[in-house]
């Protein structure tokens, strides 16, 4: 058993609360100091969000939560702590005063990280008893979900201490990005500031509203950046001609007067080559074709995730998909579903995970339900069918990219009972890949208990069961 670690969080709010949640949910003990009389409530709200959200990221249970305490003084908070995170207001005089209090009581080996986005570590270290103990550890909201931490140290910092800090951040699921030289606003906020300035111009000049700007970002480059960032995206766009060639093409653009943000570096051959070399080191182990497939796989999986949430580009997919929904015809069996297997449905064995068969048969039964009148409006009205038992036979392997069809028969349809027999076939050759015997009961969504269907649904189910028993 490793020693239980303790984090001291100085300054609460959304950022301090996010840090507290990260440590606490990863099993650390957490002590908080925040003079705000509302601190406990505010941090409690962040913790509530975090307890709901962070464990959902993982396919295993997280460690048992550590102990959380609120302290009266900085000294009590930091004494013996392994990590001290400062998230007080962005005023240098306040930060210096807080560091003096912290260093008066904390272990010399403890890490003191600052959440500052505005100050360089050399500024934070000024006048400190042990300047090398203080470093920038700049997080991104929500801290309990996003992994990025910009770690910025100075020549006064001990390299082994910075290494140790990065190891501790990694151990709570964060990604320490070590910034090579200190610079105002570190790295990410420089981009945010550049975009922010451009966005202010666009709103001011009446080119676009805030919503249009958000759409211009999230329906296009935003989702690209979420998985590859800037340079790897351009590497793929550049294609086989290579990164150097692609970068050289940008030269003329930098002279264009298309933005008011105009102080740009000279794109010398040396700079273009430096970028190309760094890009090779980063992504050169994959061909452009492999990078394209990786990019597309990421985009598909993320857009499908947003589709399930019904938000952003996923909302657009749901709208467009309505035009593809077929009208079922009462055959024996009925063709209840046609679809392609997406990349995010395969597992460690290289084929579709058995859970996804369940989803396909569930989707097929939704179509059958809609056919008998238990459609979206019926469900919105408080009635539905719940599956109570399935027996599934997996007869052939199914792979991403394959088109499949489900053929369904209603084999029982009396009162509350609805039983379907589904067959999933490969569309190209009709081979049966799996079957599912699915038994459902009609329920009230209010009481969550069984009840009779509406007379119309009941009649339709009986008619379909009769038709399908004739054909069997």
Per the annotation, does 15 bind a ligand?
A: yes
Mark the segment that binds a second copy (CB under 8 A) among 4-12, 121-129, 291-299, 411-419.
291-299
Q: How far is the CB of 332 from a second copy (least distance, A)?
A: 21
Closer residue to a second copy (CB): 392 or 469: 392
For position 446 contacting a second copy by CB under 8 A, the verdict is no
Site for a second copy in 89-108 (CB under 8 A): none
Distance separating alpha carbons of residues 209 and 471, to the nearest angstrom: 59
Q: Which of 71, 122, 161, 227 forms a contact with a second copy (CB under 8 A)?
A: 227
* 164 is a contact residue toward a second copy (CB under 8 A): no
Nearer to a second copy, 33 or 357 (CB): 357
| CB 303, min distance to a second copy, A | 6
Distance CA 276, CA 21 (A): 40
Q: Would you say 236 and 295 are in contact if contact means Cβ atoms under 8 Å apart? A: yes
List % helix, strand, coil for the chain (3-state, nearest 5).
45, 20, 35
* Residue closest to 161 by CA, chosen among 230, 234, 235, 82: 82
Residue 30 annotated in ligand binding: no
SS3 assignment, position 323: coil
Annotated binding residue 12: yes
220 burial (CB, 10 Å; 0-12 / 13-18 / 19+) is exposed
Q: Is 373 annotated as contributing to ligand binding? A: no
Q: How many CB atoms lie within 10 A of CB 50?
A: 21
Regarding 53 and contact with a second copy (CB under 8 A), the answer is: yes
Is 32 among the annotated ligand-binding positions? no
Q: Locate 205 and state its tokens.
A: 């000049």
Residue number, 92 or 395, with CB nearest to a second copy: 395
Exposure string of 428-463, with b = 16+ CB inside 10 Å and e = fewer, is eeeeebbbbebebbbbeeeeeeeeebeeebbebbee
Site string for a second copy, 10-49 (x = CB under 8 A): ----x----------------------------------x
Among 36, 296, 431, 452, binds a second copy (CB under 8 A): 296
Are 164 and 178 contacting, i.e. CB atoms less than 8 angstroms apart? no
Residue 291 binds a second copy (CB under 8 A):
no
Using CB under 8 A, which residues numbered 453 to 472 contact a second copy? none
**Residue list, annotated binding site for NAD(+):** 11-16
**Residue list, annotated binding site:** 11-16
């Amino acid at each position: 058993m490793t020693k239980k670690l303790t984090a001291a969080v100085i300054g609460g709010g959304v950022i301090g609360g996010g840090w507290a949640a990260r440590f606490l949910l990863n099993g650390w003990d957490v002590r908080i100091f925040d003079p705000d009389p509302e601190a406990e409530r505010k941090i409690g709200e962040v913790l509530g969000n975090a307890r709901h959200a962070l464990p959902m990221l993982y396919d295993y249970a997280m460690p048992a939560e550590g102990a959380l305490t609120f302290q009266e003084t900085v000294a009590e908070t930091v004494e013996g702590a392994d990590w001290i995170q400062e998230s007080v207001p962005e005023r240098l005089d306040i930060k210096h005063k807080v560091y003096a209090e912290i260093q008066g009581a904390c272990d010399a080996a403890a890490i003191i990280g600052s959440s500052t986005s505005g100050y360089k570590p050399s500024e934070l270290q000024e006048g400190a008893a042990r300047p090398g103990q203080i470093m920038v550890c700049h997080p991104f909201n929500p801290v309990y979900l996003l992994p990025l931490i910009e770690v910025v140290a100075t020549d006064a910092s001990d390299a082994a201490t910075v290494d140790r800090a990065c190891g501790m951040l990694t151990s709570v699921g964060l990604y320490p990005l070590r910034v090579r030289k200190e610079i105002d606003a570190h790295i990410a906020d420089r981009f945010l500031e550049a975009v922010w300035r451009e966005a202010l111009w666009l709103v001011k000049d009446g080119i676009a509203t805030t919503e249009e700007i958000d759409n211009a970002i999230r329906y296009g480059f935003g989702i690209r950046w979420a998985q590859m960032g800037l340079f790897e995206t351009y590497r793929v766009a550049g294609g086989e001609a290579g990164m150097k060639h692609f970068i050289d093409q940008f030269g003329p653009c930098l002279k264009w007067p298309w933005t008011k943000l105009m102080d740009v570096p000279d794109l010398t051959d040396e700079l273009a080559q430096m970028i190309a070399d760094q890009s090779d080191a980063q992504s050169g182990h994959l061909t452009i074709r492999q990078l394209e497939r990786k990019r597309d796989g990421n985009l598909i999986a993320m857009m499908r995730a947003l589709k399930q949430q019904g938000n952003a580009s996923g909302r657009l997919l749901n709208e467009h998909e309505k035009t593809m929904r077929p009208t079922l015809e009462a055959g024996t069996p009925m063709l209840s579903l046609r679809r392609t297997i997406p990349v995010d449905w395969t597992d460690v064995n290289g084929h579709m995970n058995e859970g996804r068969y369940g989803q396909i048969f569930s989707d097929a039964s939704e179509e059958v339900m809609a056919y008998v009148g238990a459609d979206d409006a019926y469900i919105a009205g408080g009635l539905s069918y719940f599956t109570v038992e399935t027996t599934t036979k997996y007869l052939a392997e199914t792979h991403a990219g394959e088109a499949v069809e489900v053929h369904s028969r209603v084999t029982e349809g009396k009162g509350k009972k609805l039983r379907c027999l589904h067959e999933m076939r490969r569309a190209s050759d009709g081979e049966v890949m799996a079957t599912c015997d699915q038994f459902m009961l009609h329920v009230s969504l209010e009481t969550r208990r069984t009840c009779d269907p509406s007379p119309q649904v009941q009649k339709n189910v009986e008619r379909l069961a009769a038709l399908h028993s004739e054909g069997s």
